[in-house]
Structure 1
Amino acid sequence: MADIVDGKNEAPGRRPNFPREFKRQLVEQTFEPGASVSLVARRNDINTNLLFRWRRQYLQGVFGAPHPAHVQQQSEVDVAPFLPVSVVAETETSMSMREAVSENVCEIEFDRARLRIRGNVSPDMLRLLVRELSR
C-alpha cells in the first residue's frame, strides 16, 4: 500500500505520484510576483526541471483550466520585445565604450535608467532586466 508523504503518494522502489491539485498549487506559486521556480521546487523537495515541466503542462490545461493572468504572463515572457537602436558617429565617448567592451561590459540606456553589466550574464537574466527596465 502506498504512503502519502509531503503531498505525494509513494510506493517503495517507485517514483512518487504527485496529486494533480498539488502540482497545480506549486505551479501557481511560481506565477506569483517575485517568485522563483527553483525556490518553490527546493521548498517542496522536488526537481526544478520537473516543476518547469508541470508549468508547461499547466499552461496546456493538463491540471484544469489555467488562470488567464498566468497564460498572459507566460506569453509576455515568451515574446522578446525589439529595442530601438541608434548608430552614432564615433566620438570620445565611443572610445570609452570600446574600452568597456574589452572589459566584458554591456551598457543599455533606457528613458529613465542606464543598465551597465560587467562579466558574464545569462541570456535569461539579461532578458528579465531588459523587460523590467523597458516598462
Structure 2
Amino acid sequence: MDKTWDERAAAGGVYKRPNFPTEFKRQLVEQSFEPGASVALIARSNDINANLLFKWRRHYLAGEYGLPTLPEGAAPNREPQMPPLLPVDIVPETAERAPPMTVDAAPSSENLCEIEFDRARLRIRGNVSSDMLRLLIRELSR
C-alpha cells in the first residue's frame, strides 16, 4: 500500500517537499477541467492540497506543462467579468419633484436614458446594452 507524503516524511524523520512529475500535474489538472469535476475531491484523493492543484491549473493554462488540451465541453473556471463602467453625472436635486421611478428616454442626437427617483435622477449616456439595462434595473429595484 502506498504511503502518503506525510507518512513518508514521518518515517524518514526529515520532511522533504515532494517534486511531482509534470505528467502527474498535467493529468490531475486535465481531470479537474472535466465537466462536473471537483478540484477539492481530486486533490484529496491524490493526497495534495487543493490550493496546489489550483496553482497547477494556472501554470497549465499558461502553457508551462505543454500545450493545454481541455476535454470537449470543458471550460476553465475563470473569474467573473465585471460589467463595463458607465459615466455617471451627479445632479443636485431640483425644486420640482417627479414621480418616483419614471423612465424617460430623451429624444436627442445622443443616446440618453434618464431615470428619476423621489430624491435622485440617474442619467445614462451612450450605447448601453440591454444586459446592462437589466442589471441596472435589477440593482435599482432592490
Greater C-alpha radius of gyration = 2
Structure 1 length normalisation: TM-score? Answer: 0.49
Which structure is higher in helix share?
A: 1
Higher RCO structure (Cα 8 Å, ≥6 apart): 2
